[in-house]
Structure 1
Amino acid sequence: MAGEATRRGTLPVQRLRAGDHAFCRYTDRPRWDLVAAYTWTGLARGEKVIICPAPQADRDTVRERLEEHGPSLDHVCARGQLVFASMRTLLLPDDRFSAARQRQRIQEEITGALAKRFAGLRAYIDMRWIADLGADVEEVMAREENAAQLFATRVYSEVCAYDTSAFEPAVLDAMHAAHPHDLLDGPGSLRALHAAGLVRLVGEADMATQIEWISALREAFKRSAHDGRLVVDLSRLHFLSVGCASDLLNLATDAHRHGRIEVRLDHGKATLLVGLGSRYLSHVVLVEDS
């Protein structure tokens, strides 16, 4: 899927870090593979995870959906590392939403998680709680826009999930703009973000997305042929297969009009490209992202 590059931080869910506040959307049914990836990444890092599904969701069913994408959750639930909750119970004893009360309760949860020697706290919150509590959408929007204090210490991360069938398009646009990051639809996705002299590839480049990968790179080479310079930003790419890495080098080899192709990537992907022969392409420069 292609789009235009913006200042927003579009990320695959696996790349979210402590301190990140992210927006995602779904239609009718949550992407349980996304929720599972977010959950298991946090558990693997030693963080406590709170899942607040849609108010009407059955907790046992939610757990079953997560276990379809990973091992049994018995151990982490028993030790309190994974908790299924709701915004209604989180706000108790208050029976209505206020940004101050929510901020207070989340801070208490962060403090409690750290006291129990968890590395931090992460939450997945289905925003259908807004209708369930009869909360004012404008007040919730203000909270989303002014939540930076919660994330400043970089021990808390949050994904806010919006059902597109439950919110007006204008509300979704405003909530989307209020978050520093937005997520790809789920694991296994690839998105290409194009700008002048730049293509940023986000997600996973493998056999399943190879056609999109090649199409995005060809488009980027075509757009930058006049200037002869292109930045291929792979810093937000979660996975790069050998086949897709070879495609990049093959296309770069054929890019005769380009005097410099700068590839921004992490050490592991740089090692892969070097192993495939990137050093023999003098116009290809690898820049490792620290």
Structure 2
Amino acid sequence: MVRSEGGGRVAGDAMAGETTRRGTLPVQRLRPGDHAFCRYTERPRWDLVAAYAWTGLARGEKVIICPAPQADRDTVRDRLEEHGPSLDHVCARGQLVFAGMRRLLHPYDRFTPARQCQRIQEEIAGALAKRYAGLRAYIDMRWIADLGADVAEVMARENNAAHLFAARSYSEICAYDTSAFEPAVLDALRAAHPHDLLDGPGALRALHAAGSVRLVGEADMATQIEWISALREAFKRSAHDGHLVVDLSRLHFLSVGCASDLLSLSTDAHRHGRIEVRLDRDKATLLIGLGSRYLKHVVLVEDC
């Protein structure tokens, strides 16, 4: 591993002991093989759905959008097109499909975990056979009431679906309407998923722990106040020990202004013996370009 005393080089053994990418993610960071939970109130976050769908299309994956049973498919398509060009071409060639759970389960007319998993495996195989890079699905879980499915069976499926994602050719978002499920049920379902999504693109969430802060989402002008507040809180909490980990590995975007804020606050926190910043190579390059090498107590650690 290469390490710089002044943050000028990037170390390569970040997140030792963390063997899985469990936890909160922005939708843009979902990768093939990821299984994620999100919740919404009143109406789906179409910006989240669009970001997920357009990312898959750009990667050459097949995309299935399974909206709520009562949703009008033309309206759903219009919502996606608000965030990109016309979908005529990808719909015509079958790369983007709008399909309710009844259609997805066909020829079965009743949900069981085994039947749904079988159908998804068939869809994955079909997508790969047509030379798509993989398959991704967005599923609005209001289909449960529509099909009269047992929530306990759905819970069993969510808890035992790892085999669908093992080959890293399938990703899935399960979206839950908060008005359709009891809070305790939602909490249990969230715990059954490896990943919990931010509410939508453009959000920032700070996850504080002893000696560390993980910043998830986007750090830019719109979230700069929250960004600075979270960093100040982290520096305050770690002042006694003098060692802080600032984890940016799940940050989708870091603006020059927010990167400068981090270095300015780190300069003021010179009494910290060590500030370890975990980040990808692009963000490391940005911080190095802004002068992180001059802060002897800041160490950049690459975490892909």
Unaligned runs of 5+ in 2: 1-20
Runs of 4+ off more than 6 Å: none
Partner of 1:269: 283
Partner of 2:82: 68
Note the C-alpha offset of 1:286. Answer: 0.5
Query: In 2, Cα distance between the equivalents of 1:158 and 1:104?
Result: 15
Note the C-alpha offset of 1:8. Answer: 4.3
Matched, 1:289 2:269: no
Unaligned runs of 5+ in 1: 1-6
Query: In 2, Cα distance between the equivalents of 1:288 and 1:95?
Result: 49
Query: In 1, Cα distance between the equivalents of 2:244 and 2:124?
Result: 43
Note the C-alpha offset of 1:95. Answer: 1.1
Note the C-alpha offset of 1:37. Answer: 0.2
Counting only pairs closer than 5 Å after superposition, residues 60-99 of structure 1 correspond to structure 2 as 60-99=74-113
Match of 2:225 among 196, 211, 222: 211
Query: In 1, Cα distance between the equivalents of 2:266 and 2:183?
Result: 40
Report the AA paired with residue 85 of structure 2.
P
- Greater RCO (Cα-Cα under 8 Å, separation 6 or more): 2
Query: In 2, Cα distance between the equivalents of 1:193 and 1:82?
Result: 35
Note the C-alpha offset of 1:135. Answer: 0.2
Partner of 2:133: 119
Note the C-alpha offset of 1:24. Answer: 0.1
Partner of 1:186: 200
Query: In 2, Cα distance between the equivalents of 1:230 and 1:143?
Result: 39
What is the number of equivalent residue pairs in this alignment?
A: 284
After TM superposition, the score normalised by the length of structure 2 is 0.92
Query: In 2, Cα distance between the equivalents of 1:160 and 1:31?
Result: 13
Report % sequence identity: 89
Partner of 1:40: 54
C-alpha RMSD of the superposition? 0.8
Partner of 1:138: 152
Note the C-alpha offset of 1:256. Answer: 2.6
Report the AA paired with residue 26 of structure 1.
Y
After TM superposition, the score normalised by the length of structure 1 is 0.97
Report the AA paired with residue 181 of structure 1.
H
Counting only pairs closer than 5 Å after superposition, residues 1-12 of structure 1 correspond to structure 2 as 8-12=22-26
Note the C-alpha offset of 1:257. Answer: 2.0
Partner of 2:5: none
SS of residue paired to 1:287: strand
SS of residue paired to 2:153: helix
Partner of 1:3: none
